[in-house]
């Protein structure tokens, strides 16, 4: 059984992934925040912006699923620390610890300024929609470097939105069900011929903005389609016109959105 490190293990995406992969791999979990581990899981608290911590958590694993980082549009300082410094530390620690396989959770926001009337594939030029998107482009470029220069096996997943069901009309196009997430990640861990690949992390949505044929080439067969939820959003009012035109949505027009990983303010009601 392979030992797989999941960074950012306290986050929503990792929480779904842990549940779906339970028993299939030995899961080593890491995050700045403490979490309650389940049977068969190992947890190491770490800050990936510190190289010593990155070296500690990556030692002795067969593959890394790098989900850790600042997950939304926001100020440059925390994005830089988590998504630039932290991402570099994970790739470099993997190289030093001789971990061959790295799965990097990039994002739809790396290409968020493509219009919604365009269907794009994994070969398009990057068009990030904010500082967060730029940080994901950095991770993609870093993965390319480590694949070409050091022979690392790198699997880039441009993830849409992972949830049990879509949250709004926009996400009908980029919804990613937990079981489809687990299937795509498992391909990234186990496929024998991966050198450097870019795939889109979405389910088999009829409204998809992405040609995900590269994932299909590797064996991805999504089980879910957002169309069954389409009626839930028939009466949704349109938002900002620029956001409505582009795949990245509101990230194309705002400077910051609430960080889901931020600690609650003391005394503030939830």
In order along its 270 residues, the chain shows pLDDT tens digits of 999 999 999 999 999 999 999 999 999 999 999 999 999 999 999 999 999 999 999 999 999 999 999 999 999 999 999 999 999 999 999 999 999 999 999 999 999 999 999 999 999 999 999 999 999 999 999 999 999 999 999 999 999 999 999 999 999 999 999 999 999 999 999 999 999 999 999 999 999 999 999 999 999 999 999 999 999 999 999 999 999 999 999 999 999 999 988 765 454 443
Alpha carbons 41 and 52: distance in angstroms, whole number = 22
For residue 59, the Cα-to-chain-centroid distance in whole angstroms is 22
Q: Angle at which helices 131-150 and 86-96 pack, to 10 degrees?
A: 20
The highest-level CATH class for domain 3-252 is alpha beta
Alpha carbons 37 and 104: distance in angstroms, whole number = 22
Residue position matching structure tokens 């088999």: 204
Catalytic entry in 25, 70, 88, 132:
132
Alpha carbons 49 and 92: distance in angstroms, whole number = 12
* Catalytic (active site) residue 70: no
Pairing verdict, β 26-31 and 41-45: parallel
Can you give the pLDDT at residue 263? 61
Q: What is the dihedral of CA 181, 153, 92, 37, to 10 degrees?
A: 30
Can you give the pLDDT at residue 269? 40
Nearest to 25 by CA among 41, 13, 38: 41
The pair phi, psi for residue 261, each rounded to 5°, is -95, 0
Instruction: Please say whether the beta carbons of 139 and 94 come within 8 A.
Output: no
Instruction: Please say whether the beta carbons of 184 and 220 come within 8 A.
Output: yes
pTM of the predicted structure, to 2 decimals: 0.96
Instruction: Please say whether the beta carbons of 12 and 35 come within 8 A.
Output: no
Which residues of the chain form beta strands (DSSP E)? 3-7, 26-31, 41-45, 63-66, 101-107, 153-159, 161-162, 175-176, 196-201
Cross-sheet strand order for the sheet of 101-107: 41-45, 26-31, 3-7, 63-66, 101-107, 153-159, 196-201
Can you give the pLDDT at residue 262? 78
For residue 13, the Cα-to-chain-centroid distance in whole angstroms is 8
Alpha carbons 173 and 249: distance in angstroms, whole number = 11
What count of other Cβ atoms lies within 10 Å of the Cβ of residue 247?
A: 26
């Amino acid at each position: 059984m392979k030992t797989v490190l999941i960074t950012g293990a306290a986050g929503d995406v990792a929480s779904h992934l842990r549940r779906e992969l339970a028993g299939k791999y030995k899961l080593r979990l890491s995050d700045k925040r403490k979490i309650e581990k389940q049977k068969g899981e190992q947890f190491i608290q770490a800050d990936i912006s510190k190289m010593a911590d990155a070296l500690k958590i990556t030692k002795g694993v067969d593959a890394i699923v790098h989900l850790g980082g600042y997950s939304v549009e926001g100020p440059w300082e925390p994005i830089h620390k988590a998504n630039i410094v932290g991402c570099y530390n994970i790739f470099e620690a993997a190289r030093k610890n001789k971990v061959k396989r790295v799965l990097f959770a990039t994002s739809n926001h790396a290409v968020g300024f493509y219009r919604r009337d365009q269907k794009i594939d994994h070969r398009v030029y990057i068009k990030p929609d904010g500082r967060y998107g730029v940080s994901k482009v950095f991770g993609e470029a870093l993965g390319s470097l480590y694949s070409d220069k050091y022979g690392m096996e790198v699997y880039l997943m441009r993830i849409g939105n992972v949830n049990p069901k879509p949250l709004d009309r926009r996400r009908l196009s980029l919804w990613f069900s937990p079981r489809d997430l687990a299937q795509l990640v498992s391909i990234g861990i186990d496929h024998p011929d991966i050198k450097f690949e870019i795939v889109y992390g979405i389910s088999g949505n009829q409204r998809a903005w992405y040609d995900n044929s590269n994932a299909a080439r590797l064996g991805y067969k999504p089980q879910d389609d957002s169309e069954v939820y389409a009626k839930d959003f028939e009466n949704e009012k349109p938002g900002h016109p620029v956001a409505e035109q582009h795949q990245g949505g509101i990230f194309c027009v705002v400077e910051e959105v609430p960080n889901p990983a931020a600690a609650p303010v003391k005394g503030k009601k939830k």
